[in-house]
Structure 1
Amino acid sequence: MRQLALDLGPSDVPGLDDFVQGDNAEVLAWLRAWPDSATPGAPAYLWGAEGLGKTHLLKGLASQALGLGWHVLWLDPHGFQSWDCGQPQAATLVLMDDCDRLDAQQQHWAFNLFIECAASLAEAPAGTPVAIAIVAAGRVPPVDLPVRDDLRTRLGWGLTFAVHALGEDDLREALQHEARRRGLKLHEGVLPYLLTHCRRDQGYLMRLLDQLDRFALAEQRGVTVPLLKQMLALETA
């Protein structure tokens, strides 16, 4: 399996508390209560359009699991990565992102992880804590995933949560929160300009905020509407 560079440092990965809830109270509450909220042996699956924060939620859960003393394994179309909590006998949380984009080899890996999860549950004495747990995400519900049938069935075994888009007020709050998390001071008018003149896609706007942060640092200027316009003009030139 090819290794994937996925930094879990606090400066790079927002946690569950950084996720603006909007209409996603149910899934956020379940994730915050994990692993107590999970059914042993049953996966959980998050689905929704691109850019709604599913990867954010999975990364937030990864950080939470590491803090609770779990190993974490991550699989997505870019490759495979794992983090050791330092306790060899600890349980493992398996996170699968962008399940609708997994290729044949990655689907094979994912299916084998489900088999390993089932085997560990069957072999464990009654009352023993779960050894492997799986949480996955994709752009479509499990039944519509373009993956092999046996993997599609297993991804749909457990709880399924739809991740909903944020309304304008919540989206504004999410951008403000991310700017504060980065220590980025947005001058008056920047957020209204982003929401009025740019594609109102949460993922796109978050990436744009990241670009704006780096552009302002390179230019050694404050984050103003003229700076934002300059950056956007350079992108389209």
Structure 2
Amino acid sequence: MNNSPLPRQFALDIGRTPTPSLNNFLAGENLALHSTLQELVKSWETNAPRPVNENPLNQRWIYWWGPEGSGRSHLLSAIGSAAQELGLKYFPLTPNEPISWVRLEEQLSTLCAHHQPSVITVDDVDRLDERLVACLFRILNAIQGSEAIHIFMAGNAAPGTLTLREDLRTRLGWGLIFQTHLLGDDEKIQALQQAAQARGLVLSPDVLPWLLNRFYRDMPNLMALMDALDAYSLETKRAVTLPLVRELLQPK
């Protein structure tokens, strides 16, 4: 397997990468989570209340966890994009942008008083530093008492095994919890075929099986390769065949 650094062509300026959405997510073993998110979006579209269950937070408080490449970040971006398309307020939070957390906290009391849904996503919960852990703790406490704020969080492990303070780990599990799973080889090929079609790429039949045997097997790198193939095919005005793929991956 080729585990050397990606070749120079991966640095090409690529502007046609499809935005992550629920429609272009291949669920595989993540069908339960995918279906739950789709149902939530439908309830936002119709402004219809969802059936009340044993835990009301289940309707607007979800944490999912799994290995890198299992769709964690894709689904967070997808639910955020769906919220924006419907005109809902959307706050994406990551460990790398602490200013976004400050801005959200400044608006939190106003959001809690609204009946209109708003959406918060928190990626890479496992990488939060002490300050952001305290911030997320305050945010979750506020959301618990609100009526319409939805929060979606993702990390690399189940709440109980995260190396975070105990009171936050407990709160992460107050709503629904899902584990995300990596795609099998057949599912990866299907997902890559969908990605190619979304970019208008026609791949020769031997390209994808060859990539799975010779290239990185995780979906982020494989999707990055779809982008690079797209750009390189346009640059060279050639079809995406195995010789072109080998040429792209040849270290310069």
Q: Which runs of 5+ in 1 are unaligned?
A: 1-8, 122-129
Cα deviation digits, residues 56-114 of structure 1 (max 9, x gap): 1111111222234421111112213889xxxx953321111111112223223322211
Letter in 2 for 1:205: L
Question: For residue 16 of structure 1, what is the aligned residue in structure 2?
Answer: 22
Mapped contact 1:65–1:71 kept (Cα < 8 A): yes
Q: Pick one of 216, 219, 226 that aligns with 2:243.
A: 226
Q: Pick one of 73, 76, 81 that aligns with 1:63.
A: 81
Q: 1:75 to 1:185 in 2, by over 3 A?
A: same
| SS at structure 2 position matched to 1:211 | helix
Letter in 1 for 2:135: W
Measured after TM superposition, the shift of residue 118 of structure 1 is 2.4
The whole-number CA distance in structure 2 between the counterparts of 1:110 and 1:13 is 27
| TM-score in terms of structure 1 length | 0.80
Q: What pairs with 1:149-160 in structure 2 (closer than 5 Å)?
A: 149-160=166-177
Mapped contact 1:45–1:137 kept (Cα < 8 A): yes
Q: Pick one of 143, 149, 163 that aligns with 1:132.
A: 149
> By percentage of residues, which structure has more helix?
2
Letter in 2 for 1:101: R
Question: For residue 78 of structure 1, what is the aligned residue in structure 2?
Answer: 96
Percent identity of the aligned residues? 38
The whole-number CA distance in structure 2 between the counterparts of 1:140 and 1:197 is 29
Letter in 1 for 2:29: D
Q: Pick one of 205, 212, 234 that aligns with 2:222.
A: 205
Q: Which runs of 5+ in 2 are unaligned?
A: 1-14, 44-49, 105-110
Aligned length: 214
Mapped contact 1:216–1:222 kept (Cα < 8 A): yes
Mapped contact 1:96–1:137 kept (Cα < 8 A): yes
Mapped contact 2:30–2:180 kept (Cα < 8 A): yes
Question: For residue 194 of structure 1, what is the aligned residue in structure 2?
Answer: 211
Q: What pairs with 1:23-62 in structure 2 (closer than 5 Å)?
A: 23-34=29-40, 36=50, 40-42=56-58, 43-62=61-80
Measured after TM superposition, the shift of residue 233 of structure 1 is 1.6
Deviates most, 215-224 or 91-100: 215-224
